[in-house]
Structure 1
Amino acid sequence: MSTRPATVYFFSTCVVDLMAPQAGVDAIRLLQEAGIEVVFPQAQSCCGQPAYSSGFFAEARGVAQSQLAIFPERWPIVVPSGSCAGMIKHHWPKLFADDPALQARAQDIADRVVEWSAFAQEVLGLALPTPAVPAARPLRVALHTSCSARREMGTHVPSEALLRTLPDVEVVQPVRVTECCGFGGTFSARHPDISGAMVSDKLDALRDTGADVVVSADCGCLLNLHHAAEKRRAAGEALPRMVHLASFLREQGGAEDAAQRVTD
């Protein structure tokens, strides 16, 4: 997609809605500041990914079916999470393979889904002004992309491109950048010891970059990293803060009300 629409739908995701609402607000405000009308369907809920990835396909189908009628206009559907965008775009149509009419409706929605960072970079061409006074040193920023966002939606590409447009920001890359942070939705609940070891390893890698900030367009990963980092900070360790990409972009643009952390 390269044509700028006048109006878009915004699918917030349940994680953003319940646990990181300011990240959603920041993403919406950047769209509005670019002159785009944002419509938020009140009947939206979960994308169904937790049920789907756990093998509960009938339950995931029910979640998806309840939302097939809430995006009636031919507007893009912007999603501030690569994993949720991937679920709707690649898996909703599969859920209705036995029902051509419902599958057509699911495919219509899938065809209009755009992950937020891709929309911001490719459609908005989002760029921030260069400050009059350069910073004493560049802010070191590490990008984390969720597994499904990276592999299904390729969102690390536009996310990194957005970061590289920012003045006084140095993008640093951790080792094994493609590895999972250990969240994995229900994986972290079913296998807490393995998940805990994975997030600890990821935090080590992020710390070793010297990053001041870790950004991501996936709040599930950010919350996992943030809360694990909080435990280590309580023991005296210095670790970067974790924030959604949209919030970080608004912060760098001078917005005083932008979230400083994913939990704000």
Structure 2
Amino acid sequence: MEVNAFIPCFIDQLYPKTAANFIDILKKAGCEVNYNPEQTCCGQPAFNSGYWKEAKTMAVKFLTDFSEAKTIVSPSASCTGFIRNYYERLLTGEAQLNKFKQLVPHIFEFSDFLVNHLRFTDFQAEFNHKVTFHDSCAGLREYGIKKEPRKLLENIKGLQLIEMEDTTTCCGFGGTFAAKFHDISAAMTEQKVENALKTGAEYIISTEASCLLNIEAYIKKQKLPIRAIHLADVLASS
């Protein structure tokens, strides 16, 4: 199956290895992967900050960059959910709206795509660690994934998943929320990491790199015995 990889700017700039592992995973699942190097941000940061004109510019560029795409897969439910749920509002009255409506049923977050569409869940991965899982707000509520990442984790040799308390509670990142309301954000991150530590896990896994960056910053600052890692990196382990 031919797919087009959408690598969000956050992952491209800060977690390039995760992007490479994501593409390798799609190939292992039997996909022929296309990557357009002209792609950039989906426009979500601008939109969430009230800059809708700038967000519309990014939406038009996204549709231009993926004008030939039949299927788009991304390692971020946040960006994918934003595109699915808000581009129509941004593009109302624009010529690109019809193009978006044709494309939107074929835009997927990668765990959803692997589990529900390809029915491919076993990558012969091995990860001999206790882990816990953080459900990102966008993944859980905006895109609608929960069982899919866990289904993929079930088939990883040596991995022991221990669910934390309040796994569906926000980690405190929330994009610009972490900058505008730093004290509240830091308290939420502390609670999230403390709940993870109570499980005895060595790693916090998530599908959202932005959440992981926020969590990882707190862990490093406090010198805590736990690490943050993206699901794609775990699936690529051996």
Taking structure 1 as the reference length, the TM-score comes to 0.85
Task: Give yes or no for contact 1:203–1:225 (8 Å, CA) kept in 2.
Answer: yes
Among 154, 164, 187, which residue is 1:197 paired with?
A: 187
In the alignment, does 2:233 pair up with 1:247? yes
Mapping 1:71-110, distance limit 5 Å: 71-99=66-94, 101-110=95-104
In structure 2, C-alpha distance between the alignment counterparts of 1:197 and 1:32, rounded to whole Å: 40
How far the C-alpha of 1:117 sits from its partner, in A, is 1.1
In structure 2, C-alpha distance between the alignment counterparts of 1:45 and 1:128, rounded to whole Å: 29
Match of 2:30 in 1: 35
Task: Give yes or no for contact 1:94–1:103 (8 Å, CA) kept in 2.
Answer: no
Among 189, 193, 198, which residue is 1:208 paired with?
A: 198
User: In structure 2, what residue type is equivalent to 1:111?
Assistant: P
Match of 1:118 in 2: 112
In structure 2, C-alpha distance between the alignment counterparts of 1:13 and 1:130, rounded to whole Å: 24
In structure 1, C-alpha distance between the alignment counterparts of 2:176 and 2:163, rounded to whole Å: 27
Higher mean alpha-carbon deviation, 57-66 vs 22-31, is at 57-66
Match of 1:159, SS state, is helix
User: In structure 2, what residue type is equivalent to 1:150?
Assistant: L
Match of 2:132, SS state, is strand
Match of 1:3 in 2: none
Mapping 1:1-264, distance limit 5 Å: 6-99=1-94, 101-122=95-116, 123-129=118-124, 139-233=129-223, 237-238=224-225, 240-251=226-237, 254=238
How far the C-alpha of 1:124 sits from its partner, in A, is 4.8
The one-character-per-residue Cα deviations of 1:140-169 (angstroms, maximum 9, x if unpaired) are 211112101110212222001111222322
Residues paired across the two proteins, number:
237
Match of 2:130, SS state, is strand
How far the C-alpha of 1:241 sits from its partner, in A, is 1.2
Runs of 5+ consecutive residues of structure 2 not aligned to the other structure: none
Structure 1 residues 130 and 190: alpha-carbon distance in aligned structure 2, compared to 1, 3 A threshold: closer
Task: Give yes or no for contact 1:89–1:109 (8 Å, CA) kept in 2.
Answer: no
The one-character-per-residue Cα deviations of 1:24-77 (angstroms, maximum 9, x if unpaired) are 100001111233111111221111111111222111111111221222335210
Identical aligned pairs, as a percentage?
33
Q: CA RMSD in A?
A: 1.7
Match of 2:229, SS state, is strand
Match of 2:131, SS state, is strand
How far the C-alpha of 1:210 sits from its partner, in A, is 0.9
Task: Give yes or no for contact 1:142–1:211 (8 Å, CA) kept in 2.
Answer: yes
The one-character-per-residue Cα deviations of 1:92-133 (angstroms, maximum 9, x if unpaired) are 11111223x3211222232211001111223151214498xx
Task: Give yes or no for contact 1:181–1:198 (8 Å, CA) kept in 2.
Answer: yes
In structure 2, C-alpha distance between the alignment counterparts of 1:229 and 1:92, rounded to whole Å: 35
User: In structure 2, what residue type is equivalent to 1:28?
Assistant: I
Taking structure 2 as the reference length, the TM-score comes to 0.94
Runs of 5+ consecutive residues of structure 1 not aligned to the other structure: 1-5, 255-264
Match of 1:176, SS state, is coil
Runs of 4+ in 1 over 6 A off after TM superposition: none
Task: Give yes or no for contact 2:125–2:235 (8 Å, CA) kept in 1.
Answer: no
Match of 1:68, SS state, is helix
